[in-house]
Amino acid sequence: MESIVRNARREDMPAVLALIQELADFEREPDAVELTVTALQEDGFGDIPKFHCFVAERDSVIVGMALVYFRYSTWKGVALHLEDLIVTRAQRGKGIGEALYRRVMEYGLSHNAKRVQWEVLGWNDGAIRFYERTGARVLRDWHVVHMDEENLSEYCKKK
């Protein structure tokens, strides 16, 4: 049984959302996903898509996905951001994750990205080892900061 990686289509979004949920569970944030299939379809497949998605299929079933979009580095210029990459648990260890990862890197290179970047949980040693083996660098002195919707609205109310 061969697995293939291809561009996602609008009708793949239910399977993609299920994978997003599986990743959130793994990242110990099972209640964090507020996105819907409709939102994914509108946001990814409108006139100006907000992201690009790849899916991995095995025996015509979607077993993995990677979702990317472009960012802008004030040091380097256009950068590709890898937001999520996941292979469903039962299909791991078969090279499907690396096939998705490679496709993302090739997409970045072919779009002249000056960098591909993403975020990783500090305890995810397996992932970190893999990234470093491919030439990526974990910037341990940089942290991610979030102002969530509720606090954003609170902050903007104060003067």
Binding site for a copy of itself (CB under 8 A): 20, 23-24, 29, 32-35, 39, 43, 48, 50-51, 67, 69-78, 81, 83-84, 102, 105-106, 108-109, 113-123, 131, 134-149, 151-156
DSSP string across 11-35:
GGHHHHHHHHHHHHHHTT-TT----
Whole-angstrom Cα distance, residue 29 to residue 128?
A: 20
Cβ 65 to a copy of itself shortest distance, Å = 9
- Of the pair 47, 59, the CB lying nearest a copy of itself is at 47
Tokens of 122: 């500090």
Quick one: which of 43, 87, 81, 33 has its CA closest to 64? 87
Supply φ then ψ for residue 58, to 5 degrees: -135, 120
Q: How far is the CB of 24 from a copy of itself (least distance, A)?
A: 6
Say whether 155 is catalytic.
no
Q: How far is the CB of 141 from a copy of itself (least distance, A)?
A: 5
CB neighbour list of residue 23: distance below 8 Å, 6 or more residues apart: 84, 86
Closer residue to a copy of itself in complex, CB, 60/155: 155
CB 90 to a copy of itself: min, Å? 21
Q: Taking the CB of residue 6, how many other CB atoms lie within 10 A of it?
A: 12
- Catalytic pick among 69, 107, 131, 155: 131
Q: Which is nearer to a copy of itself, 60 or 74 (CB)?
A: 74
Enzyme catalytic residues: 131
